[in-house]
Amino acid sequence: MKELKTASDALALIKEEKVEVIDLRFIDFPGIWQHFSVPARSLDVDDFEGGLGFDGSSIRGWQSINESDMLIVPDPTTGFIDPFMARKTLVVICDIRDPITGEDYTRDPRHIARKAESYLQSTGIGDTAFFGPEAEFFIFDDIRFDQNEHSGYFFIDSEEGAWNSGNDEQPNLGYKPRYKEGYFPVPPTDSLHDLRSEMMLIMDEIGVPVEAQHHEVATGGQGEIDMRFAPMVEMADRMMKYKYVVKNTARRYNKTATFMPKPLFNDNGTGMHTHLSIWNGGENLFAGDGYAGLSEMALHAIGGILRHAPALLAFTNPSTNSYKRLVPGYEAPVNLAYSRRNRSAAVRIPMYFTSPKAKRAEFRCPDPSCNPYLAFAALLMAAVDGIMTKADPGEPLDRDLYDLPPEELATVPTTPASLREALERLDGDHEFLTKGDVFTDDVIETWIDYKANEAQEMDLRPHPWEFHLYYDI
């Protein structure tokens, strides 16, 4: 599909491709796409300028019912033909505006991300922040869960699950990845290769360039598809397309995909290692002659990320389930340190490539339960704050952090152990986010209140393991 730049381009494409339906999508506060559709014939240039109305009070974390009217404004540059709809449909990602003032809505995550990009440019540090998230996911064959006043359970099944090795499948053909041994096996052990390849090729068709796809470490159908890096807002848009393609391609084959960070006990969880670099005038400012080939600016950026990481995690790891992944021994880093090559450090400097253009910092804590617009914006703001304040990242730790002696390990800061703790850290450390009015106080307060409610709902409910521990007391 040709690149769209203007509303006229989008309208011309609608005619050329004989599009019947326009699907207008936007991201809600927690991070899930919402949409409504209109007949293609009803959309005109004015709609790309003035927007269309909808009820903002029905969207999580947004307007009260007495201030419900909002505008959705299509961004023509984001359009793509939906590969899953029966009737030809053009999807357009949208921004949100206030219908009275005409201003961008301060709680619109896409608007917050755009402000973060503008803030970077206003500082004179650089003109572009490139992001490259590595989002993992699971593909299951069956998922059941329920919670009520007298029972609670979940049940997961996968043809690949190691727990099915002894199951009478008539016939059981074996070749099920062992726990923590699912990284890079060829078929037949990797039974999902063709499905991931289809996902990869569909992404490419809708404008999401992909570098590679592969099975991941865990049993039970864990996979990863790596996107090529892009400017921040564009990459957040791609992340939403990525999730959409993964979920719907799986559904096409009667399977179900999830980006939940820790669906399986006692095996690796699902992360979203996120690569970041800052550029100016086509030059990568993170490349230099310092440690691991980094510039002084890059080291200061890492210092900012490490300093603000406990607060950052409220956005990059925003679910109660996130902190069941962030535990020692599963490759998810809990120690706030940096290193080249060392995957047990919170920030890693990849050493695959020698080209200065490839130099970047990889923040390994995030997971794909996050809202990518908010997570990327917060990460950029932490890096910029580190650059502006010349934050010292300390000495690198090039050993396996999990093997450090207790007295040494005690000196290394760690990630929060729960969502509630991350929210508390955000409450006490968010000035770096409000610079340039990128995150308003209202956005931060609303986020903390919304997520604290999720934590409270978890606290209220008995857990199945508690019966194992305490029923006979």
The stretches of 145-288 forming alpha helices (DSSP H) are: 193-205, 232-252
Q: For position 62, what pLDDT does the model report? A: 85
Residue tagged active-site, from 46, 49, 55, 204? 55
Contact between 182 and 158 under an 8 Å Cβ cutoff? The reply is no
Which among 345, 349, 328, 326 is positioned nearest to 337, based on CA atoms?
Answer: 345
Mean pLDDT by 10 residues, the chain (473 residues): 86 95 96 96 92 87 76 96 97 94 94 98 98 98 96 96 95 95 95 98 97 97 97 98 98 98 96 98 96 96 98 98 87 86 85 85 97 98 98 88 75 93 98 98 97 96 95 95
Q: For position 465, what pLDDT does the model report? A: 94
Residue tagged active-site, from 134, 160, 190, 267? 134
Q: For position 330, what pLDDT does the model report? A: 66
Residue tagged active-site, from 136, 159, 160, 267? 136
> Distances in Å between the alpha carbon of 388 and those of 124, 251, 333, 381, 393?
10, 46, 26, 10, 14
CA separation for the pair 220, 179 (Å, rounded): 9
Give how far the C-alpha of residue 364 lies from the chain's centroid of Cα atoms, to the nearest Å: 12
Does the active-site annotation cover 87? Answer: no
Residue tagged active-site, from 273, 325, 348, 420? 273
Residue tagged active-site, from 127, 343, 398, 427? 343
> 402-411: buried (b, 16+ CB within 10 Å) or exposed (e) per residue?
eebeeeeeee
Which among 163, 103, 4, 92 is positioned nearest to 440, based on CA atoms?
Answer: 103
Q: Which helix (H) or strand (E) holds 225?
A: strand 222-227
The stretches of 140-206 forming alpha helices (DSSP H) are: 193-205
Instruction: Work out whether strand 52-55 and strand 80-81 pair parallel, antiparallel, or are unpaired.
Output: unpaired
Does the active-site annotation cover 160? Answer: no
Q: For position 69, what pLDDT does the model report? A: 84
Counted residue by residue, the chain has a size of 473
User: Which tokens belong to 215?
Assistant: 């099975």
Does the active-site annotation cover 362? Answer: yes
Instruction: Work out whether strand 21-27 and strand 89-97 pair parallel, antiparallel, or are unpaired.
Output: parallel
Does the active-site annotation cover 49? Answer: no
CA separation for the pair 352, 109 (Å, rounded): 33
Does the active-site annotation cover 55? Answer: yes
Residue tagged active-site, from 47, 75, 82, 224? 224
| Residue 146 DSSP one-character state | E
Other C-beta atoms closer than 10 Å to the C-beta of 426 total: 24
User: Which tokens belong to 119?
Assistant: 């803030």
Contact between 338 and 396 under an 8 Å Cβ cutoff? The reply is yes
**Strand runs labelled E in 17-127:** 21-27, 33-39, 52-55, 69-74, 80-81, 89-97
CA separation for the pair 39, 331 (Å, rounded): 48
Does the active-site annotation cover 134? Answer: yes
Q: For position 111, what pLDDT does the model report? A: 97
pTM higher than the cut 0.75: yes
Phi, psi of 354 (to 5 degrees): -95, -15
Does the active-site annotation cover 273? Answer: yes
Does the active-site annotation cover 23? Answer: no
Helix 193-205, helix 232-252: angle, nearest 10 = 130
Contact between 378 and 312 under an 8 Å Cβ cutoff? The reply is yes
Residue tagged active-site, from 82, 362, 367, 385? 362
Contact between 158 and 137 under an 8 Å Cβ cutoff? The reply is no
Q: For position 66, what pLDDT does the model report? A: 63
Does the active-site annotation cover 237? Answer: no
**Strand runs labelled E in 331-467:** 338-340, 347-349, 361-363
Q: For position 355, what pLDDT does the model report? A: 86
Q: For position 351, what pLDDT does the model report? A: 83
